[in-house]
Amino acid sequence: MTDRNIRLESAEKRAVEDQEVEIVERKGIGHPDSICDGIAESVSRALSNLYLERVGKVLHYNTDETQLVAGTAAPAFGGGEVIEPIYLLIVGRATKEYDDQKLPVDATALRAARDYLKENLPELDVGTDVIVDVKLGEGSGDLQDVFGEETQEVPMANDTSFGVGHAPLTETEQIVLETERALNGARYGSDHPELGQDIKIMGKREGDVIDVTVAAAMVDAYIDDMDDYIAAVDDVRAYVTELASEYTDREVNVEVNTADDYEEGSIYLTTTGTSAEQGDDGSVGRGNRANGLITPNRPMSMEATSGKNPVNHIGKIYNLLSTHIAETVVAEVDGIRDLQVRLLSQIGRPIDEPHVADAKVITDDGVTVTDIEDEVVAIIDRELADVTDITRRTIEGELSTF
């Protein structure tokens, strides 16, 4: 084991699962903030692969400032229309020329963004409902120098920053995460085209009662009238209630589209399946953290994970790595009730040697920190030594960043 600065101590609080009140949120893939995260990360992977194919290594870039300006739509039963298109701007920095070779950075970014929209927002006509623009400048010289022109086995950190991860997920966290994935995935969404992709889940647990609030955009082309809409909402409520029972024995109450007013005809009806069509803007990093959740009961990094380069940008690497470490430790070591991992970098220092790797643990009854310390520290050390695998897995699309 190397001489990395790894610290393990007992957490001075109750495990989140044992706290009286817990709040958890997830913004689905069609939420304007998540659209920005998804496009930024899709562009990031495309640029990494462009650089690898053309020059044999990933060059300096960051695309984590993507912005979305909402459009205007007129939804109607049976099918409405988009009046003013959504505007999406890919912003960031990228290396456009290397060794006298000009690289098609902007074209690659546009193609990746359009492909992502077509795949994930099927009711959005990329040709007319959204304008995709790109403004990628060159990176500052000092950060390019830190990134490094020479191939290094372990890159140097581009910033003094930190990442945070935790495990295991609480029952409420699992319900919130898996509900959105199911509604937007093969388990439910594939057979229910009336359900759009803009799905936000808010979970609140008080004691042993879990309340789940679902905001679900409905697609007008598949809903003929108010009765159809009400049936679609009821179907989502019943499905989420059943899904939650897979993760908890606690009482679960599910409400869907609580702002609806059926008497006034005010309902969550959309033409494209996303609120981005009508007044809801978006930005990278304003939504889910690297583990797919927003968890105010736990420490979180405010860094945007999506769109940052996966080679040496700590805002990406340490958030993904700390989450991976926490999950790995909990899977391999018995007796852990709750684990939090924080990784702090120092600019210019190798990313496998954090300024500190801090783990706070709550153990099960009958287990002490001393009992598991050597095993936990060894796993953290092992995963830090393999930090560059995070880069590979991110480029290959194995890791989700939001």
**289 SS3 class:** coil
Is 322 labelled as part of a ligand binding site? no
Sign of CA dihedral 380, 386, 390, 391: positive
Q: What is the pLDDT of residues 205-223, one digit of tens each?
A: 999 999 999 999 999 999 9
Question: For the segment 298-331, what is each residue's pLDDT rounded down to a tens digit?
Answer: 999 999 999 999 999 999 999 999 999 999 999 9
Q: Note the pLDDT tens digit of each residue in 178-205.
A: 999 999 998 898 899 999 999 999 999 9
Segment 263-275 mean pLDDT = 96
Q: Which helix (H) or strand (E) holds 51?
A: helix 32-55
Is residue 30 within 8 Å of 55, Cβ to Cβ?
A: no
Q: Which residue has the tokens 């006509």?
A: 125
Q: Using alpha carbons, select from 145, 173, 175, 174 the residue that is nearest to residue 158.
A: 145
Annotation-wise, does 30 bind a ligand? no
Q: What is the pLDDT of residues 86-136, one digit of tens each?
A: 999 999 999 999 999 999 999 999 999 999 999 999 999 998 999 999 999
140 is in an annotated binding site: yes
371 labelled binding-site residue: no
Q: What is the mean pLDDT of residues 261-268?
A: 95
Taking phi over 0 as left and psi of -120 to 50 as alpha, with beta for the rest, 335 belongs to: left
Task: With a cut of 80, say whether residue 147 has pLDDT above it.
Answer: no
> What are the chain's domains?
6-15+160-169+287-395 (3.30.300.280), 32-146 (3.30.300.10), 171-278 (3.30.300.340)
Annotated binding-site residue? 246: no
Over 145-208, what HEC string results?
HHHCCCCCCCCECCCCCEEEEEECCCHHHHHHHHHHHHHCCCCCHHHCCCEEEEEEEEEEEECC
SS3 73: strand
Peptide bond into 299 cis (omega under 30): no
Confidence category of residue 149, pLDDT binned at 50, 70, 90: very low
What pLDDT score was predicted for residue 139? Answer: 65
141 is in an annotated binding site: yes
